[in-house]
Amino acid sequence: MNRKVVVLQLLNRVFYKTVGTSLNQYLGDPINILAHFSEYEANEILIMDISDHGSPDFEFLKLLGRHCDMPLSYVGNVRTLTHIQTIINLGFERVLIGGGMYQDPTLVKRAVDKYGTSTIGVIVNYEFKDGKRFIWHKKNLPGEYQLTKNFLSRIASLLVGEIILYCISFDGKRNGFDFDVLSIIPNSVNVNICGGCKSIQQIDESLKLFPMISFSAGTAFSLLPNNSVFLKYDRDLL
Amino acid sequence: MICKIINYQTGNINSVISALDNLGLKSIVISCANDLMVNDIVILPGVGSFDTAASNLRDGGFYEYDFIRNRNKVIGICLGFHLMCLDSEEGSLSGLGLLPVHVEDFKGCVEPTLHLGWSSVSSNVDAFRDKHYFCHRFYVTENDYTLASTNRIGNRVSNVVRKDNFWGIQSHPERSGTKGLLLLKEILQNES
């Protein structure tokens, strides 16, 4: 059951496209962009809030929730169950927990218990160092943690609905997905690969090659090779 | 036509309001059964876990409310649908019992256990067909009350279930674009 997911990075109420940890291109007004992808009937839209507010911008999320009639997920600054509940009430079907799980290791389990497998997912950001994958967190983790099958299996055992594996080192570079990471994923959970997408064609080919995996992209759906903004989506494949 | 959306704390109320707006319908959010009246159209949104939602519904007095005597049309979406059933393998509390079916778990049948994404739906009703967005781990198997269904790795999953004035929808019509709105409109306009 795979999907091609549009990732839109939100910074202070504006959508940008990043390359790794740097801002690359201003995409434009979020309401307008959401309306476009809604019209294109995108399989799913993931709002990835990279603002540093400490908590989600609920007032703005309410606006986004009202302007989209396609599946909508959210990740960013989710720290408490109250955050999750508010985001769901604002119209998001799924909430993904990222950095919050490192700050509070009980958060994911408590969230799944209260809101269910179908609502809660996890995003694991990782980077390459010396050819090995390490978990990445913007606030820096105490020590270095390698991304392993054991780590992902532990997350899956909490009955999360989906794990998004987001390769920061590949993000926005259009060199292709990190397919090798598929060798360490557990079978019991939906997995979504994000970071490095070359083109929409690569997503379509990847979906055929890995029918149980979903693929996400930002650049491929929003920028031309010369970096000018051009929103596009073709849902016909699925 | 005004729809009353039950707020059981964990539902995606805002997107249901938007969908009804798009259909030109007004809606009111309620948290208490005292706010329901005879012939009201009631919507139970999806998203959340069974016991948390059932417990909040109980606190709101909805388990004591007589939907049949008050001739309410009740439409449950995803978890809201499950709450209308007898019980669910997701939790230990009982459902409202408006639909005489049980909710089962994909666990042990298929992996991954979460049915997440767009699936084709088959039905004799035109408005119920096409691809719809699903996001659920628990499901109602095809039964005598099923009007539309989808296939998930060998499991026949009910997508639209109806008994009298009570309707359950497994997919998320509020997030399935124009096809979802068509499905919702058909159910809302259906005269029992």
CA distance B69 to chain A (A): 30
Assess B52–A contact: CB distance below 8 Å, yes or no. Answer: yes
pLDDT tens for residues B98-140?
999 999 998 877 778 889 999 999 999 999 999 999 999 999 9
| pLDDT score of B192 | 60
Among A3, A90, A188, whose Cβ lies nearest the Cβ of B117? A3
CA distance A123 to chain B (A): 16
Region A184-192: mean pLDDT is 92
DSSP B181: H
Cβ distance B15 to A91 less than 8 Å, yes or no, reads yes
- In degrees, rounded to 5, the angle at the alpha carbon of residue B42 between the alpha carbons of residues B39 and B48 is 165
CA count, 13 A, side-chain hemisphere, B15: 32
Q: Give the mean pLDDT of chain A.
A: 91
**Is pLDDT above 60 for A238?**
no
B146-152 and B115-123 beta bridge pairing: antiparallel
| pLDDT score of A59 | 94
| pLDDT score of A140 | 67
Q: What is the pTM of this model?
A: 0.90
Residues whose CB falls within 8 Å of the CB of residue A161, separated by 6 or more in sequence, listed in order: A94, A117, A118, A119, A120, A121, A189, A190, B114, B116, B135, B137
| CA-closest candidate to residue A20, choices A133, A169, A202 | A169
**Whole-angstrom Cα distance, residue A71 to residue B118?**
10
**Is pLDDT above 50 for B74?**
yes
Q: Give the mean pLDDT of chain B.
A: 94
Question: What is the pLDDT confidence band of residue A237, given thresholds at 50, 70 and 90?
Answer: very low
Lowest mean pLDDT among A23-37, A72-86, B91-105, B129-143: A23-37
pLDDT tens for residues B33-65?
999 999 999 999 988 899 999 999 999 999 999
**Whole-angstrom Cα distance, residue A119 to residue A91?**
12
CA distance B30 to chain A (A): 13
* Side chain identity at residue B103, one-letter code: V
Among B12, B118, B133, whose Cβ lies nearest the Cβ of A88? B12
Interface of B with A in 150-189 (CB under 8 A): 152, 172, 174-177, 180-181
**Is pLDDT above 70 for A101?**
yes
Sign of CA dihedral A66, A70, A71, A74: negative
- Per-residue burial over B137-155, b = 16 or more CB atoms within 10 Å of its CB, e = otherwise: bbbbebeebbbbbbebeeb
**Whole-angstrom Cα distance, residue A156 to residue A179?**
19
Q: What is the CA radius of gyration of chain A?
A: 16
